């Protein structure tokens, strides 16, 4: 998955091996490849404001957030965002700068989502997305953990790993439609990011 970092980093995230079907009990860790990292030019120090006035704060999220294109909502006032008006065509490796992803704004940075119609099972869809990332953005030696959980009352898979950035990716398949939720952040933030991301997933609901 292709994701662009908030500090000018280009991040090529989560390319992992397929997860096999199993019981609802979370499986053991799975060692697989995840995406690589490449850097761009750093932000110039001249862009840093010199005013001594107190910095302005960003507006608080005012959810719930609803995705018209992908048919889900984040039913929490802690989240808002920008909904895509164009559906993903199922090709490539979507990232947070693409026009066909929903940008989600809340307690954690760099969070986005997208989806597509599918006839695949959850494991088949997740395996296909991991294979697409592995082909375009290999990261030899990167490790990831895959666990099972529920999102919107249906089974889901959650991948977490680190390849220069910490990345969480959730896969959901429901009623012939697949969904992908992604978050990435700097290493060292894993515990807080995981808790906030799982909080986001618990607030997801799907349209009939």
Under-70 pLDDT residues of the chain: 1-59, 61-63, 136-137, 140-141
Q: Backbone phi, then psi, for 114, in 5-degree steps? A: -160, 175
The full length of the chain comes to 208
**Annotated domain spans of the chain:** 2-41+61-206
180 Cβ neighbours under 8 A, 6+ residues apart: 1, 94, 113, 114, 115, 129, 169, 170, 171, 172
Other CB atoms within a 10 A radius of the CB of residue 191 amount to 8
Q: Which fold has domain 2-41+61-206?
A: Protein Transport Mog1p; Chain A (3.40.1000)
State the residue for tokens 């490539």: 92
The predicted structure's pLDDT at residue 118: 96
Q: 112: which residues sit within 8 A by CB, 6+ positions away?
A: 95, 96, 101, 102, 103, 104, 181, 182
pLDDT tens digit string along 42-100? 323 333 333 333 433 445 766 689 999 999 999 999 999 999 999 999 988 888 889 99
Q: Is residue 46 exposed (0-12), middle (13-18) or buried (19+ Cβ within 10 Å)?
A: exposed
What pLDDT is recorded for position 54?
Answer: 41
Q: What is the distance between the alpha carbons of residues 5 and 40, in angstroms, rounded to a whole number? A: 10
Question: What is d(CA 23, CA 10) in angstroms, rounded to the nearest whole number?
Answer: 37
Beta-carbon contacts of 57 under 8 Å, excluding residues fewer than 6 positions away, are: none
CA–CA dist 32, 112 (Å, integer): 23
Q: Residue 72 burial by CB count (10 A; 0-12/13-18/19+): exposed, middle or buried?
A: buried
Between strands 154-162 and 166-174, the pairing is antiparallel
The pLDDT value given to residue 31:
35
């Amino acid at each position: 998955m292709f994701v662009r970092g908030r500090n000018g980093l280009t991040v090529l995230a989560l390319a992992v091996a397929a997860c096999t079907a199993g019981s609802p009990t979370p499986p053991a860790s799975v060692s697989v490849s995840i995406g690589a990292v490449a850097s761009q030019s750093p932000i110039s120090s001249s862009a840093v404001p010199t005013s001594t006035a107190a910095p302005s704060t960003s507006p608080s999220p005012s959810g719930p957030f609803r995705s018209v294109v992908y048919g889900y909502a984040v039913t929490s006032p802690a989240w808002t965002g920008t909904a895509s008006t164009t559906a993903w065509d199922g090709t490539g490796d979507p990232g947070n700068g693409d026009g066909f992803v929903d940008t989600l704004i809340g307690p954690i940075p760099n969070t986005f989502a997208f989806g597509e119609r599918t006839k695949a099972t959850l494991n088949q869809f997740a395996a296909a997305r991991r294979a697409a990332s592995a082909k375009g953005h290999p990261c030899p030696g990167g490790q990831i953990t895959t666990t099972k959980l529920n999102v919107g009352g249906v089974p889901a898979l959650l991948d977490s790993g680190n390849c220069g950035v910490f990345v969480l990716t959730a896969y959901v398949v429901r009623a012939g439609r697949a969904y992908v939720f992604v978050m990435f952040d700097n290493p060292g933030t894993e515990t807080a990011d995981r808790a906030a991301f799982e909080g986001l997933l618990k607030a997801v609901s799907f349209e009939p």
